[in-house]
């Protein structure tokens, strides 16, 4: 896991298309903003896990040992998103 320190109004880039910005820090709460292409689904982790529980999809395990690491059942996730309204928020 890469750990970075950022202050309010600072960002990190993931690849060329995804920007994660720290909007504010209030006590123990951090507000972040994520700019990503619409084709990239973005979820709170608890929603992501719920989608995978409902679809029976296996949550991906990233061990770095193969080309399939980190890939989920995209069709099942897409169908679940459609049922949930599609925005992943």
pLDDT (0 to 100) of residue 60: 58
Domain extent listing, the chain:
7-38, 41-89
Higher pLDDT, 66 or 3: 3
| Average of per-residue pLDDT across 29-54 | 94
Tell me which of 78 and 34 has the higher pLDDT. 34
Res 47: pLDDT: 93
| Residue pLDDT, tens place only, 47-73 | 999 988 888 776 555 555 544 544 445
Distance of alpha carbon 69 from the chain centroid:
15
Distances (CA, A) of 17 to 4, 6, 29, 57: 19, 19, 26, 26
With H, G, I as helix, E, B as strand and everything else as coil, classify residue 30: strand
Enter the pTM of the model: 0.61
85: confidence class by pLDDT, cuts 50, 70, 90: low
């Amino acid at each position: 896991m890469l750990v970075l320190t950022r202050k309010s109004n600072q960002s990190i880039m993931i690849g060329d298309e995804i920007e994660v910005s720290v909007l504010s820090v209030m006590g123990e709460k951090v507000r972040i903003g994520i700019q990503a292409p619409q084709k990239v689904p973005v979820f709170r982790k608890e929603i992501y896990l719920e989608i995978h529980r409902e679809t029976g999809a296996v949550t991906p395990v990233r061990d770095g040992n193969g080309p399939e690491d980190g890939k989920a059942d995209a069709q099942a996730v897409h169908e679940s998103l459609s049922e949930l309204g599609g925005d992943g928020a």
